[in-house]
Structure 1
């Protein structure tokens, strides 16, 4: 079986902060990897409102709060859930294979 070459290794699963958000970089992209109660999710790391790094925000297992203005996002679908955030996060398709979090870019 051939491997789909569009999936790229991002970070080892054992390098993740359990139940938290972990920063990761792929090329020039800063990403956030969320070890959520519903699975692993990956988004762009910057808040869509003030461009703060979401990896520095409070994560409760489902929602990430921006450390700058306390905008809130649902990491399962990227939706903005509290002002001043209005634009959803750009979510990146992700999966786990052979102990690695992979993303589809």
Structure 2
């Protein structure tokens, strides 16, 4: 198991279906957890352009499209794929774990 002082357990791996996103709230963080080809990715849940929640968006491969205005991001690195977004999406490092999705705790 990962060092729990520097990590945050978000959910069980089985909670996230292949090709889907799951909204997870922990502390002050509202995150989207994605599962693509049995690999997990985690980003902020809120779109950087407006009030859209990315966990409610459309995931195709490694690209999440905000259902509010159609902006797109690469979930692997937060890079903008399609406008109207102009601010990169925050991503979180996923830590290997047998049964849970765990991220490194963000620095304050």
Superposition TM-score, scaled by structure 1 size? 0.90
CA offset digits 1:31-74 (Å, max 9, x no partner): 00011237211000000001310111110121000111100101
State the secondary structure of the residue aligned to 1:14: helix
Unpaired segments ≥5 residues, structure 1 = none
Take 1:83 and 1:46, find their aligned partners in 2: how far apart are those partners?
A: 16
Q: Verify the 8 A CA contact 1:44 1:90 in the aligned structure 2.
A: yes
Gaps of 5+ in 2: none
Which residue of the partner structure matches residue 25 of structure 1?
A: 25
Alignment of 1:31-70 (within 5 A): 31-37=31-37, 39-70=39-70
| Aligned mates of 1:76, 1:38 — CA distance in 2 | 13
Number of positions where the alignment pairs a residue of Structure 1 with one of Structure 2: 104
Tell me the secondary structure at the aligned position of residue 40 of structure 1.
Answer: strand
Q: Write out the 4+ residue segments of structure 1 that deviate beyond 6 Å after TM superposition.
A: none
State the partner residue of 1:88: 88
TM-score (norm 2): 0.87
